[in-house]
C-alpha cells in the first residue's frame, strides 16, 4: 500500500516559501510544492493569480470566522477539499468551469446546472 505514496516525486513534498501581499502587507507562506500546484489550478479556473486567490480566500475566511489563525494550514485544507470535491463530482473536473460559478448551497453544481 505505501508504495503508492512513497513512489511520489520528492519534489512534490519539498517546501517552497512565497512572498504574497495581503492588502499591501507582505507575508511569507510556506507550502509544499504540490499545494502550490493545486492553488495555481484553482486560481487559473477563475482567472486569478495565486496571490489574488490567496487574498480572496483570506478575506472570505476573515469575514466568515473573524480571525485567521493558521493561513498556511487553511490553504492546505482548501487544496485537499478542492481535490476531494473534484473526485466526488461536486466540483466539475472541467477546468473551464470557474469555481465562482458554483453554488455552494445548491450542492456545488455550476449555477447554470443548479436549476
* Contact residues for 28 (Cβ-Cβ < 8 A; gap 6+): 17, 18, 19, 20
Identify the domain containing residue 65 by its residue range: 9-113
Is there a domain that residue 1 lies in? no
Query: Distance (Å, rounded) from C-alpha 23 to C-alpha 13?
Result: 29
In-domain check, residue 4: no
Does residue 2 form part of some domain?
no
CB 33, CB 12: distance < 8 Å:
yes
Tell me the per-residue pLDDT of 18-38, one tens digit each, with 9 for 90 and over: 999 988 889 999 999 999 999
pLDDT on residue 105: 66
In a domain, 26, yes or no: yes
Cell 469575514, residue? 63
CA atoms within 13 A on the CB side of 4: 1
Question: The dihedral of CA 89, 111, 58, 14: what is its sign?
Answer: positive
pLDDT digit string, tens, across residues 54-89:
999 999 999 999 988 899 999 999 999 999 999 999
More confident call, 111 vs 7: 7
Amino acid at each position: 500500500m505505501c508504495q503508492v505514496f512513497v513512489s511520489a516525486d520528492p519534489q512534490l513534498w519539498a517546501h517552497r516559501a512565497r512572498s504574497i501581499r495581503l492588502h499591501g502587507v507582505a507575508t511569507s507562506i510556506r507550502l509544499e510544492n504540490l499545494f502550490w500546484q493545486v492553488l495555481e489550478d484553482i486560481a487559473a479556473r477563475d482567472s486569478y493569480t495565486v496571490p489574488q486567490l490567496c487574498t480572496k480566500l483570506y478575506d472570505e475566511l476573515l469575514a466568515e470566522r473573524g480571525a485567521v489563525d493558521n493561513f498556511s494550514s487553511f490553504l492546505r485544507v482548501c487544496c485537499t477539499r478542492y481535490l476531494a470535491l473534484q473526485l466526488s463530482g461536486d466540483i466539475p473536473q472541467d477546468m473551464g468551469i470557474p469555481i465562482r460559478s458554483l453554488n455552494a448551497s445548491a450542492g456545488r453544481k455550476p449555477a447554470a446546472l443548479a436549476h
